[in-house]
Amino acid sequence: MITLMSQMLGCLLIAAGIGVAVGWLLRGLPKNSPDHSYGDLANLLRSKEQALETTSHDLKVKTSGMQILEQKIMSSETLHSSAQREVIARGERVKALEAELAVRSKRLTDLETESVAARRRESEFTAQAAAHGLELQEAQQVCRAAEQAREVMEQEVRVQREHIAQLNEGLADRDELRARLKTFELVQSRVHQLEVELSDREAAHRGVIQQLEQAIGERDRRMSEFDADVAAQGEELRRAQQACQAAEQAREVMEQEVRVQREHIAQLNEGLADREQLRARL
């Protein structure tokens, strides 16, 4: 605008100079040759008018060029402002994504810690199950030993009964029979006592077996629950990893967009520098 005003002022000064020159020429013309002087003066005026029209045309061209350049400058400044606002908004979005990524990373670390603890509990439970299995094997061995003892006692009872039958068939002496009967009664009492002990042992073994079966059932139930928890934690861990990957990809995309916007701003700044140079030249 200052350049345009200076050009207009120059045009006015040129017009004033032309007027002064014309007046000076009119005063300096000789009075004895008015036709010749007026012709020269008319030629001079026409040349000055042509120069003035040329200057006015150049002034109009430069004025329109300045208006177009100012419109381009305003458009560039608007684009620059909008690009800066967009870069700021994208930077805030990148910060939000980085914060979300940090939260997801912390959640992933917590899930990994829980998974390690779950595996440790599984190892402890497996060790307990192995100990219960050893106890069950020992109880089964005791049951087999008791069963073998019962079979031995039954075999002895059968032998004694066969012997008593033989004694009854060939009984010859009542005293011997009574002695054998007493022996049989003692043996029978011993057999009864062994049967009672065997029954008690079987009851105790059945109780131990029931407890072991209950422990095994409880172990199976806890193992099922643990497997379900491990599967759920694995699924949650997989989702968290997928979310982290998505957040990382979004961050990379945002960084790429920020680089593009910065390059665009750099181009706009170069255009503004060229505009300033052009304005300085005008």
Task: Domain ranges for the chain, please list them.
Answer: 2-281
Taking residue 267's Cβ as centre, other Cβ atoms within 10 Å add up to 11
pLDDT of residue 68: 79
Q: How far is CA 8 from CA 135, 146, 166, in A?
A: 114, 130, 158
Residue 185 near residue 126, CB atoms below 8 Å: no
pLDDT of residue 282: 58
Query: What gap in Å lies between CA 80 and CA 275, rounded to an integer?
Result: 14
CA angle 251-256-261, nearest 5°? Answer: 120
pLDDT of residue 81: 77
pLDDT of residue 32: 45
- Predicted confidence pLDDT, tens digits, the chain (282 residues): 556 556 566 666 666 666 666 666 555 555 444 455 556 666 776 776 777 777 777 777 777 777 777 777 787 778 777 777 877 887 787 788 878 778 877 877 887 787 777 778 777 777 777 777 777 777 677 767 767 877 877 787 777 777 767 766 665 556 666 776 777 778 778 777 877 887 787 787 787 778 878 877 887 788 788 778 778 877 877 887 787 787 778 778 877 877 887 787 777 777 767 766 766 665
Residue 274 near residue 127, CB atoms below 8 Å: no
Give the single-character DSSP code of 176: H
118 contact partners, CB below 8 Å, separation of at least 6: 226, 229, 230, 233
What sign does the dihedral 114-120-123-128 (CA atoms) show?
Answer: negative
Helix (H) or strand (E) holding 172: none
Query: What gap in Å lies between CA 67 and CA 79, rounded to an integer?
Result: 18
Q: What tokens were used for 269?
A: 């700044």
Looking at the whole model, is its pTM more than 0.85? no
Query: What gap in Å lies between CA 223 and CA 51, rounded to an integer?
Result: 105
Give the single-character DSSP code of 29: S
Long-range own/partner contacts, residues 213-221 (CB < 8 A, 24 or more apart): 215/132, 216/129, 216/132, 216/136, 219/125, 219/128, 219/129, 219/132
pLDDT of residue 77: 75
pLDDT of residue 21: 63
Query: What gap in Å lies between CA 86 and CA 92, rounded to an integer?
Result: 10
pLDDT of residue 171: 55
Cβ density class 41-51: b for 16+ within 10 Å, e for less: eeeeeeebeee
CA angle 70-76-80, nearest 5°? Answer: 145
What sign does the dihedral 14-18-24-30 (CA atoms) show?
Answer: positive
AA identity, residue 36: H
